[in-house]
Structure 1
């Protein structure tokens, strides 16, 4: 009886110790916070909203030349920010690796996990793509007020995602 109680006590102590060790583990699942990326996003966000406000009533292709530099500056800055945000090393997600090994054993397809690109880099690229499409449309035929609103809506979604993710990293 004493031996069983001792084994039970040792087992509980071992489990408690393991729980404490696991609780002390700090696994990083996201890249490090970068103030330069956050500041760059804030500046680009402001400039993009100014551009959207300036075209909110629609544009005519004959006046495109007056906006071309604004488009090109924003697109270039967004591309640079996307590269900067994506260049940070992403920690390897071992949980996904373990899940994929288990799925492979069952003959199932693994989870697609792009550990190489932070979500903010993807969102920033999508804002750049949106502004490039808006620039090209503006150059070819001008942009109607509804098109400007649609382009702005799409850019706002991706800017919100990028800004939220980057600010979250500042924990």
Structure 2
């Protein structure tokens, strides 16, 4: 009878150890959701669309000074958001593949797959670069309606990627 009690005691100890070791196994699939990034992204998205709508018929370089502060504010806010989104640790996983499938279903281009940077940080940086190029063109010669449409198209693609990714993290 003693060996049966001893075996039962060892089995309980083994199960307890197994439970403790498994409870410590939490696989993180993506960076943590950050409401401040989402809120900042929503605000900068609205302001970017307002700027793009205001130049949709084209601009003249002589009126550029009236838009300069708006450009600089948006670019600075986007750079800050990119830094904030990128500061979260990025675990190795297949989340980017899942998000790219969601984007593909919606007809949007896939995000690039840099495993060390959250895809939203990359996309936000690309929006900033797009607005920087648009600002430089506007300063030098003004922006034609076709150029405004092209800049908007590129900005919308990257904003869509960033918003999709950040909303996906909220789940």
- TM-score scaled to structure 2, two decimals? 0.73
Task: Deviation per CA, 1:19-63: give whole Å up to 9, x if none.
Answer: xx99xx652221000000000000000000000010011000000
C-alpha separation in 2, matches of 1:93 and 1:156: 26
C-alpha separation in 2, matches of 1:91 and 1:29: 6
The residue aligned with 2:115 is 115
C-alpha separation in 1, matches of 2:115 and 2:142: 40
Do 2:68 and 2:135's aligned partners in 1 also have CA atoms closer than 8 Å?
A: yes
The residue aligned with 2:168 is 168
Q: CA RMSD in A?
A: 2.1
| 5+ residue gaps, structure 1 | 1-20, 95-112
| 5+ residue gaps, structure 2 | 1-20, 95-112
Q: Secondary structure at the match of 1:33?
A: coil
- TM-score scaled to structure 1, two decimals? 0.73
1:82 aligns with 2:79: no
Q: Figure out how many residues of one structure are paired with residues of the other and give that number.
A: 132
How far apart are 1:89 and its partner, in Å? 1.1
C-alpha separation in 2, matches of 1:30 and 1:114: 13
C-alpha separation in 2, matches of 1:68 and 1:128: 14
**1:136-151 to 2 correspondences below 5 Å:** 136-151=136-151
The residue aligned with 1:11 is none
Q: Secondary structure at the match of 1:146?
A: helix
C-alpha separation in 2, matches of 1:114 and 1:159: 17
Do 2:79 and 2:125's aligned partners in 1 also have CA atoms closer than 8 Å?
A: yes
C-alpha separation in 2, matches of 1:93 and 1:147: 38
Task: Deviation per CA, 1:56-95: give whole Å up to 9, x if none.
Answer: 110000000000000000000000000000001112449x
C-alpha separation in 2, matches of 1:114 and 1:51: 30
User: Following TM superposition, where does structure 1 have runs of at least 4 consecutive aligned residues deviating by more than 4 angstroms?
Assistant: none
The residue aligned with 1:59 is 59
